[in-house]
Amino acid sequence: MLSVYIGAIQIDYNDKVIKIYNDIGVAQTSVQHCLYSLKLHIPPSYTVGYVSASAIIEGYGLEGVRLLILPGGRDLYYIQSLQGQGNKQIQDYLSGGGNFLGICAGSYYSGTYLVFAPGTPIEVIGSRALGLFQGVVKGPILAPYCYGSYKGASAARVLITTDAQACYLYYNGGGYFVDADKIDDTTVLARYQYGEAAIIQCKYGLGRVILSGVHIEYDPYMMRAPSLKSIRKTLKRYNRQRIKLLKHLLALLSIQ
């Protein structure tokens, strides 16, 4: 097994471990869907677990981890928990060849600047220190976001750039990556209906980063809320395409 030390982090490149960030501010529905989809669609040789902010900060949470996932939730709590040493540990992990998947709030947190719901009572605007994407993440793009409800949820149509296939994915408050086509070391993997970047891939040191404004992890067969009935129907019809896309993204992150 090849081991490389980056700061206090030991990266063992043959280890088949995936960690989902699970701490204050993380939406448990996103965590549950991540766990469910991963266990269905990754090789059985991989193990999936959780990692806390304190474990990351203290330097042992990313040892031997092939992929770190920052799921949906509330970006402001991620700042509260990870700002400073937590961010540095993630950056060191990626610089040494780690892999990172940020979904919805996890993608907002991963840019250099965030613009969320400007001009509304829930406005959040400001710089972000993690800086895995060297640009602005702005949203919501499809509908106003409503905390604690599904009023802004939809089945978002995205076009996958590699094969020009359309796919519908669960959406609730996600953003887009402003001018992603013009930013170095950034590739657009999927676009929203009018061309805005919905899913991107970035390089960070020796590491690879994928950020998604849509919930690629959401499996419609796990969605139970009555208000999501019509959305669920659409997502079920396109679930095969979602799984294909999910597997493709995981392969880009060395999960295969």
DSSP-assigned states of every residue in 155-207:
EEEEEETTT--EEEEEESS--EETTGGGSTTEEEEEEETTS-EEEEEEEETTE
In order of start, what are the domains of the chain with their CATH numbers?
Answer: 3-252 (3.40.50.880)
Question: What tokens were used for 160?
Answer: 């996958």
Question: What tokens were used for 224?
Answer: 């139970």
CA distance 53 to 215: 22
pLDDT tens track for 129-177: 999 999 999 999 999 999 888 999 999 999 999 888 899 999 999 999 9
- Please identify which residue in the block is written with the tokens 């982090």: 9
pLDDT tens track for 224-245: 999 999 999 999 999 999 999 9
For strands 47-51 and 186-192, give the pairing: unpaired
User: What's residue 193's pLDDT?
Assistant: 93
User: What's residue 14's pLDDT?
Assistant: 55
Statement: residue 12 has pLDDT above 90: no
Burial class from Cβ neighbours inside 10 Å (0-12, 13-18, 19+) for residue 40 reads exposed
Which residues on neighbouring strands pair with residue 139, listed in sequence order? 116
CA distance 216 to 30: 10
Statement: residue 2 has pLDDT above 60: no
- Please identify which residue in the block is written with the tokens 């995981």: 250
CA distance 4 to 41: 28
CA distance 111 to 88: 14
35 contacts 48 by C-beta, under 8 angstroms: yes
Statement: residue 11 has pLDDT above 80: no
Length of the chain: 256
CA distance 99 to 227: 35
Residue 13 CA: distances (Å) to CA of 2, 62, 89: 6, 12, 17
